[in-house]
Amino acid sequence: MTPRSSSESARDIPEATVARLPVYLRALTALADDGTRTCSSEHLAAVAGVNSAKLRKDLSYLGSYGTRGVGYDVDYLRYQIAREIGVTQDWPVVIVGIGNLGHALANYSGFRSRGFRVVALLDADPRRTDEVVAGVPVRAFDDLEQIVREQAVAIGVVATPAVAAQDVADRMVACGITSILNFAPTVLAVPEGVDVRKVDLSIELQILAYHEQRKSQAEPALPTDVRGTA
């Protein structure tokens, strides 16, 4: 058995619940923007696109049970979830690789509004280091170590081509970055204690294709598929 601290941070929230907390946070922000003060678990579940029993179970890990007949206080629940995720503080982020995707990420307003501050854009190509994207100048990749140290950066975004991604990740890890968001279409090897999340833009398209195929199969079918079944 591993000794466990009794501090709040040591509670184990299942990984699937952690992955849904940002979805709840987004739904609550939408409700708050509409002026909604309280909401039932059913309503919040519908806005977030999950099953309400699952939502109640997820929120119970945060010690949040709502009030019978009233539901959840939207603002307070937002605060609870934001605190649990850690986005009440301001996370400095560096983006490496300022091609089309890097530009898109640097311009993405969703990062800023959700507690992430892009403190540096880095590219290995010296022709890019004249540019300013979304108010942030592009700097040489060789400045990585200095920037990470000065700005206490813990999260790095890899938006390079696949062939460069492992080298970039190695340099990030070597200078103290412990969380990497990888957009390059390759698997990164990192030491224990470093978290990597990989964004694969084709996964969502494949999920759509599955449903699309079922829709076309659900239409009145010609009996072309029953040959040889007798």
- Known binding-site positions for NAD(+): 97-102
Phi, psi values for residue 143, rounded to 5°? -85, 0
Give which of 160, 25, 135, 134 is closest to 144, Cα–Cα. 160
Work out which of 2, 9, 67, 224 binds a second copy, going by CB under 8 A: 9
By CB under 8 A, tell whether 33 contacts a second copy: no
Distance CA(114)–CA(145), nearest Å, equals: 25
Regarding 18 and contact with a second copy (CB under 8 A), the answer is yes
What backbone phi and psi angles, to 5 degrees, belong to 64?
Answer: -110, 115
Q: Whole-angstrom Cα distance, residue 109 to residue 90?
A: 15
When asked if residue 189 is in the footprint of a second copy (CB under 8 A), the reply is: no
Identified binder of a second copy from the candidate list 2, 67, 100, 224, rule CB under 8 A:
100
Q: From the CB of 124, what's the least distance to a second copy, in Å?
A: 18
* 147 binds a second copy, rule: CB under 8 A: no
Nearest to 21 by CA among 43, 42, 50, 53: 50
Stretch of 57-65, 85-93, 123-131, 166-174 lying at the interface with a second copy (CB under 8 A): 85-93
Give the residues across from 94 on adjacent strands: 120, 156
Shortest Å, Cβ 101 to a second copy: 4
d(CA 44, CA 203): 26
The correct pick among 206, 222, 227, 228 for binding a second copy (CB under 8 A) is 206
Site for a second copy in 106-145 (CB under 8 A): 107-111, 114-116
Handedness of CA 222, 228, 229, 230 (dihedral sign): positive
Bridge partners (DSSP) listed for residue 169: none
Span from 22-30, 59-67, 71-79, 166-174 in contact with a second copy (CB under 8 A)? 22-30
Q: Contact between 41 and a second copy (CB under 8 A)? A: no
Complex with a second copy: residue 68 or 197, whichever CB lies closer? 197
DSSP state of 160: S
Q: Which of 1, 163, 208, 230 binds a second copy (CB under 8 A)?
A: 208
- Shortest distance in whole angstroms from residue 196 CB to a second copy: 9
Tokens of 77: 């629940």
Quick count: other Cβ atoms within 10 Å of Cβ 66?
18
Q: What region does 135 belong to: left with phi over 0, alpha with psi -120 to 50, or beta?
A: left
Please give the residue ranges that form the binding site for a second copy (CB under 8 A).
Answer: 5, 7-10, 18-19, 21-23, 25-26, 30, 84-87, 89, 91, 93, 99-101, 103-105, 107-111, 114-116, 154-155, 157, 178-181, 185, 187, 193, 195, 197, 199-218, 221, 225
